[in-house]
Amino acid sequence: MTTADLQRTERYLAHDPQNPLLLAEAVDTALSLGLVDKARRHVDAAMRMASNDAFMRNRHGNVLLAEGRLEEAEAVFAELIQHERNANIAHNLASVYLRTARPAQAREVLAPYMTAPDAPAAAVTTYLRALHHLGDTAQALEAANAHLPRCGGDPQFLAVASLIALDEGRLQEASQWSSAALAGSARPMEALVAAGSHALAREDVQKARAFFKEVLAKHPTEGRSLAGLGTASLLLGDARTASEHFASALAAMPGNSEILQSLGWSLVMQGQTRAAEDAFRSAAAVDPETSEPLGGLAAVCAVEGRRAEAEGYISQAHRLDPQDAGAKLARAILSGEATDRGKLQALVIRSRGS
């Protein structure tokens, strides 16, 4: 839809202002273009004529959603879904649930429509987002593959699917789907994040930075992109910039164990061992069943010459993962391999890239 399409519809409406099909088209086109004020004007005209029409009320809910009036939009969609079993209405209600941090309810309202052969791509995409938010990436990937033959031409579907694949460690699918999502004019956020993360995994730092910066130009508090820029800076040896990005990422994603660990390593590289220890301890409290925070604590203690404590953390980390990179780094420090700041930084970068 283009501005020219909206202008043409509005010319027709000037001659036939009560035509419900033209009003519906005007609302939909205005919303697709982000022209919320125009959508409001047209939906108000439609509601004055057909306030009981379910599909016009659904459009009224869409305008409320675009205006950020989420409570009012939810009331409209929740009432409609009681009387109209419709995947589009369910999708709209699920969208409200996601925007108000209720992914379980979003999944519940959409689940009955996911087995239908004609489930709209937008509804499927929102269902995948709900599963992803709930941390059920395995089921989300299974659902993405099931709907791929029919929805694989939709950039938003591919973008969300690519991020799910990335989090499931399926790098080939993540790269393939994010590239397909970005092949046209659309630049979906999830596809950019997936593409940047995949580039970072290949240590193509400059390409990764470009993807993450593109995300942050429109979504300045997007946590994964902030963390991605931090990791890119860490790999380039710029620990100060890295720690700034990680701190911003934590503000967007409080309590994220991986970001806390990365912040800890960036502080180790700057010689800020006490602050690094706090970061690693916080990560260990969030995720006590993984070795990485313990390896970080081992490295901090080794840097400070606290050999007995370092050995204790090395042992704890090795019980969880005999190949823990932080524990190996601590061993190198204790053995004297990292005798100055430059060697220590090189070892940290190597451990974070492994």
Say which CATH superfamily domain 1-84 falls into.
Tetratricopeptide repeat domain (1.25.40.10)
Rounded to an integer, the average pLDDT of 305-314 is: 96
pLDDT (tens digit per residue) in 166-199: 999 999 999 999 999 999 888 999 999 999 999 9
Asked whether residue 337 carries a pLDDT value surpassing 80, the answer given is no
* Number of residues that this document lists for the chain: 354
Rounded to an integer, the average pLDDT of 104-110 is: 97
Distances (CA, A) of 121 to 18, 107, 346: 31, 15, 47
pLDDT (tens digit per residue) in 42-100: 999 999 887 788 889 999 999 999 999 999 999 999 999 998 889 999 999 999 999 99
Q: What is the pTM of this model?
A: 0.87
Asked whether residue 339 carries a pLDDT value surpassing 80, the answer given is no
CB neighbourhood size of 322 (10 A): 10
CA 88, CA 217: separation in Å to the nearest integer?
31
CA 343, CA 50: separation in Å to the nearest integer?
73
- Could you tell me what percent of the chain has a pLDDT over 90? 80
Distances (CA, A) of 263 to 230, 239, 294: 8, 9, 14
Q: How confident is the model at residue 157 (pLDDT cuts 50, 70, 90)?
A: very high
Task: Return the domain boundaries, the chain.
Answer: 1-84, 253-354
For 128, counting Cβ atoms within 10 Å of its Cβ (0-12 exposed, 13-18 middle, 19+ buried), the class is: buried
pLDDT (tens digit per residue) in 209-238: 999 999 999 999 999 999 999 999 988 889
Distances (CA, A) of 153 to 123, 142, 143, 180, 184: 14, 18, 16, 8, 11
CB neighbourhood size of 114 (10 A): 16
Domain 253-354 sits in CATH 1.25.40.10:
yes
What integer pLDDT is reported at residue 226 of this predicted model?
97
